[in-house]
Amino acid sequence: MPADPEPRTYSARYVFPASGPPLAGGTVTVRGDRIEAIDPAGVRTPDEDFGNAAIIPGLVNAHTHLDLSGARGLIPPTDPDHFTDWLRGVIAYRRARTPEQVQADIRAGLGECLRAGITLIGDIASEGASWDAVAASPTRAVVFRELIGLTEERATVAFESACGWQRSPGETAACRKGFSPHAPYSARDRLFSCYPREARVAVHLAESPGEVELIRDRTGPFVAFLTELGAWDPSGLIRGLGHPLARSRLVDHALFIHCNYLPTEETRYIAGVHSVVYCPRTHAAFGHPPHPFWEFLTRGVRVCLGTDSLASNPDLDILAEARFVHAHYPDFPGDVLLKMLTLAGAEALGWADEAGSLEPGKSADLVVVPLPDRDAADPHELLFADHPGDRRTMFRGEWR
Ligand SMILES: [Zn+2]
């Protein structure tokens, strides 16, 4: 038996456990790959003090597409009414990319996530292509295999290949596989409700006004778009935007990504159970009306943050997303915002038993974030101020 590792105690100007209030001068004690204790100032003598910095839980990027990491700046977001034009750009980009380029893109995106202090990633991958790279890297993840198929034939192929992939061995102590029926305009209705209870499922929902029109009236820009692709089959469309939400009661962990145009009453199906992923800077890049995240939270819906991909976002830094929200909603409570990029993301992805907060017994996943050199009545103000500086990240007790 290996000897019990010696504990090490770290301190900083603030420790933000996310599961409780910030601790000025608090300490985090790590033993092996676990958090042993979180204490207020004065209880333990730190082995290392990071000074004017925050120690926060490892960050959670609940939604990205690492396989689009080569697309930064190449497919400018459109206005909301021309969203299908942006999708055409993404499809053309994907078709021009070789498998080797895609793997290089995945590695580059992963590297960017790791440098940002992200220790848990929800990645949607065409054909599960990011699995090998993600599972081999020092991060926790759920890799969702994308399922696309509105016609009966395409839906069957997508489902069978996803099930084969899911059954193949390879899940690790930190990486799990999930399913992503892509969106109501691209996935047949039955693809939203055919998974085992323990499955993790991620769905893009109500992203653009055209999608709302398509599901409501069977008209609008998506008809021409899908016809061009040879993929138009109105018999495969869900009957209402609430359908995937209602059917998500069949699984333990479902994430609904964007929901920019989701009528808030539809969230009754997922309040207290499932999650919405808000991607703030991508949302802003398309010029959508204000996102209803605050109202979703008021209705008891868990909301976490994602970056989405580099095809629509400037980087994969989830703390930058939170800082963007703070800058645009200065009255939004800092403790709730911190949960949105830590604990809520871990709960959404089914990893909250191990990750998402600094609590004794959880995995020692944490980030040291430099703070600005000033005071603030609420310490969250310091964390969410736009402040540069390298972050240090510990994953499962090891600095990476
Ligand atoms: Zn997405």
Last residue of a domain, one of 324, 348, 372: 348
pLDDT for res 170: 81
- Give 52 Cα–ligand 1 centroid separation in angstroms: 35
Mean pLDDT of 278-301: 98
- Give 346 Cα–ligand 1 centroid separation in angstroms: 18
Give tens-digit pLDDT for 116-151.
999 999 999 999 999 999 999 999 999 999 999 999
- Give 68 Cα–ligand 1 centroid separation in angstroms: 10
Is residue 234 located within the same domain as residue 376? no
CB contact at 8 A, 116 and 388? no
The answer to whether residue 96 is domain-embedded is: yes
CB contact at 8 A, 55 and 367? yes
What's the token pair of residue 28?
């985090």
* Residues whose CB is less than 8 angstroms from the CB of residue 95 and which lie 6 or more positions away in sequence, other chains included: none
Angle at alpha carbon of residue 176, lines to 36 and 31, rounded to 5°: 15
pLDDT for res 3: 66
3-state SS assignment for residue 35 = strand
- Give 165 Cα–ligand 1 centroid separation in angstroms: 20
Is residue 339 located within the same domain as residue 270? yes
pLDDT for res 169: 81
Give tens-digit pLDDT for 62-105.
999 999 999 999 999 999 999 999 999 999 999 999 999 999 99
User: Which CATH number characterizes residue 14's domain?
Assistant: 2.30.40.10
The tally of domains found in the chain comes to 2
- Give 136 Cα–ligand 1 centroid separation in angstroms: 23
- Give 26 Cα–ligand 1 centroid separation in angstroms: 37
- Give 65 Cα–ligand 1 centroid separation in angstroms: 6
What DSSP line would sit under 112-127, residue for residue? Answer: HHHHTTEEEEEEEEGG
The answer to whether residue 363 is domain-embedded is: yes
* Residues whose CB is less than 8 angstroms from the CB of residue 34 and which lie 6 or more positions away in sequence, other chains included: 360, 361, 362, 363, 364, 397
* Residues whose CB is less than 8 angstroms from the CB of residue 353 and which lie 6 or more positions away in sequence, other chains included: 362
- CB within 5 A of ion ligand 1: which residues? 308
- Give 308 Cα–ligand 1 centroid separation in angstroms: 5
Q: Does the pLDDT at position 114 exceed 90?
A: yes
Please give the Cα distance from 156 to 179 (Å, whole number).
14
**What residues make up the domain containing 19?**
8-57+357-399
- Give 64 Cα–ligand 1 centroid separation in angstroms: 6
pLDDT for res 4: 77
User: Which CATH number characterizes residue 97's domain?
Assistant: 3.20.20.140
DSSP 8-state symbol, 174 = S
